[in-house]
Amino acid sequence: MSDMRVKDRKVEYRRVAYYPGCALEGTGHAYNSSTKAVGKALGLELDEVKNWNCCGAMEVKNIDPKVQTYLSSRVMSIAANEMGAKVVMAPCNGCYHNLKKAEHDLAQDADSREVVDRLSKKAGHATYRPGQLETIHALDWIKHGIGEEGLKGRIRKSLEGLKVANYYGCMYTRPRHIFPEKDKGPGSESTSKPHFMDDLLEAAAAESVDFPLKTACCGGAHTLSDSDTSTKLVLNILRAAEAAGADVIATECPTCHTGLEMHQVRAEKVLGEKTTVKMLYFTQLLGIALGLSPRQVGVQENVSDGLELLRSKRLA
Amino acid sequence: MPIHEQSLIRPENLKTHDKLVIDGVDVSGHWSTFIESRVVTDYNERLEEEIAALPGGEYIHRCWQCGSCTNSCTVNAVNPDFNPRYWIYLIRMGLESELLRDKGIIWQCVSCNKCTYACPRDVVPEGVMKATAHWLELKGHTPKSKSMIFDEEFSGQVIETGKIEEGRIIRGFFAKTAQPLTQEWLVEMAKRVARRLPIKLGMLMGFAAVFRPRTRGWGRARRAIEEYVSEQHAKQRKALGLAELVEMAQSELSSGAKRV
């Protein structure tokens, strides 16, 4: 039965609806271009959700949580009802989290269903019904759509000798109850010690260092409104990665990535604490392993200058 | 004389005297320090209900004070005064004046959801923190926190156009919180990007925002959301007794005007 399931995903994930979200059109542009480039190199197709809207990130829920549920439900409704998609992929942890949370709330809570139905009708589109779509992260997409074995056969430039701290952040794993498919034992993702990014980059021969702060918080929600706290939290993460011997922190969320980059600079300027570890999106690292150039995966767009590191490892 | 567990006593409740004579006996030196006992008289019996009426606070009644939230808390690790378990206790007991002692830091919850993950009773402490911060502002105990200003700036744009543009949010937020955009670390970050990519810098700071992203045909959704949000806000004001307060103030003003 489990073999059946694996086979299904290989087929289902070959072509999925794609929800980039606002950050990937702004500061996380390199994550967007590298995700698309990696998909292309792996033969995985992306159909961008038509005329999508913002998921509300970490902010709209503080004004009204059910409006945030509605925002996600509209995106899912378009993917399911107007595009006929079965699977929607969101590379941004915030978008991914919110779609998952909306799915959970709509399945479990009658009030949420009522509010979403009311707003959807007034807005003039079909109401999203829970169960119509499966929401996945870019990590699931590659892990289940291609798999480590599939990746190994396509590696053109081994990442051997590159020490990576895999950083997953908060929204990919917490709270546990909105990710019913996680924590299901071998083969499934873990919410306490996530490993999908480790698995994929190890398939490209990178070395995952033992990094205790995989799911620590970067303070992204208050990156500008409480910068001092965010700087302390980021500095912890950077220092832990350096202590673990990492050359680079691999990221899978535009908010985390920008937060690490911003507060690395801020820690240096405000606290006089200099760290040298670099940040690259995991899709940038995978892209390079698949033979793409640093420019094709947008390394030049990062604040943290990964080019020098890639050159020193003969990857650029 | 050293006092055991002195860290548990508030400094203002420690009374130390250099010279002290009690009933004609000079006790200076040895017996010179006293702890003023705490007396709480002003319970707000509706405090828990009020927090529960705000989004996020709905499940506060489930708490059994295990402390998993504080134990797992990201902000607590940075600032030990940040104590969700304690605040939930105070709210449930109606100890409003005690809660107000920490009014300046409750908004600092970073929504990492470690507490919600750890909570064995599904209290959603992260939501309770947001509800409490919101309550403090609605009741006028604290000015709008920077976090709330950011949330409003962000949500305002989403509701208006369906999408956000980061540069516009950053500019709006810095303007509303009266912070200069030319802070040294921001300038340094901009320089590092500019070396390689002047266009990205433009996007980041919004200087070159060519067009404003928006979702097509968003108008109907916008009106529906605005209508819903204003309904919810009215409900919340009612639950917190704010509507009555406004009415009282208005009637007092008008009766005052009559007297004059």
Q: Answer whether A195's CB lies under 8 Å from A183's CB.
A: no
pLDDT of the residue at B109: 97
- Minimal Cα distance from B148: which residue of A? A62
pLDDT of the residue at B36: 87
Class of domain B47-138: mainly alpha
Distances (CA, A) of A46 to A13, A73, A87, B257: 9, 20, 11, 67
Question: What average pLDDT does the structure give for chain B?
Answer: 87
User: Which residues fall within 8 angstroms of residue B189, CB to CB, at 6 or more apart?
Assistant: A261, A262, A265, A266, A303
Residue with more model confidence, B123 or B243: B123
Class of domain A156-312: alpha beta
pLDDT at B252 over 80: no
Is the ipTM value over 0.85, yes or no? Answer: yes
On chain A, the residues whose CB falls within 8 A of the CB of B150 are: 59, 222, 224-225
Residue B216 in tokens: 């097509």
Q: Touching check for B202 and chain A: CB below 8 Å?
A: no
What is the tens place of the pLDDT at every residue in B173-186?
Answer: 988 988 887 788 88
pLDDT of the residue at A1: 42
Please compute the mean of the pLDDT values over residues B139-160 and round it to a whole number. 94
Q: Touching check for B10 and chain A: CB below 8 Å?
A: no
pLDDT of the residue at B204: 55
pLDDT of the residue at A298: 94
- A2-137 folds as Glutathione S-transferase Yfyf (Class Pi); Chain A, domain 2 (1.20.1050)
Q: Touching check for A301 and chain B: CB below 8 Å?
A: yes
Of A65, A226, A229, the CB nearest to B55: A65
pLDDT at B208 over 80: no
pLDDT of the residue at B257: 57
The residues of chain A that CATH labels 1.20.1050.140 are 2-137
pLDDT at B201 over 60: no
pLDDT at B31 over 90: no
Which residues of A, range 144-183, sit inside 8 Å of B by Cβ? Answer: 170-171, 173-176
Strand order in the sheet with A134-137: A45-48, A15-18, A87-90, A134-137
> B30: burial class by Cβ within 10 Å (0-12, 13-18, 19+)?
exposed
**Secondary structure of residue B17 in the 3-state scheme:** coil
Residue A125 in tokens: 């589109």
Give which of A51, A53, A58 to mutate to test B binding, by max B Cβ within 10 Å: A53
pLDDT of the residue at B112: 96
Of B74, B166, B185, the CB nearest to A270: B185
Residue with more model confidence, A38 or B206: A38
What is the tens place of the pLDDT at every residue in A130-155?
Answer: 999 999 999 999 999 999 999 999 99
pLDDT at B210 over 70: no
Q: Touching check for B248 and chain A: CB below 8 Å?
A: no
Q: Answer whether A306's CB lies under 8 Å from A30's CB.
A: no
Residue stretches of chain A with pLDDT short of 70: 1-7
- Of the candidates A140, A135, A118, the one whose C-alpha atom is nearest the C-alpha of residue A127 is A118
pLDDT of the residue at A108: 96
Residue with more model confidence, A4 or B6: B6
The residues of chain A that CATH labels 3.40.50.11810 are 156-312
**Cβ B163–A54 below 8 Å, yes or no?**
yes
Which residues of A, range 48-77, sit inside 8 Å of B by Cβ? Answer: 51-54, 56-67, 70-71, 74
Of B55, B150, B203, the CB nearest to A64: B55
What is the tens place of the pLDDT at every residue in B39-74?
Answer: 888 799 999 999 999 999 999 999 999 999 999 999
- Of the candidates B165, B221, B128, the one whose C-alpha atom is nearest the C-alpha of residue A70 is B221
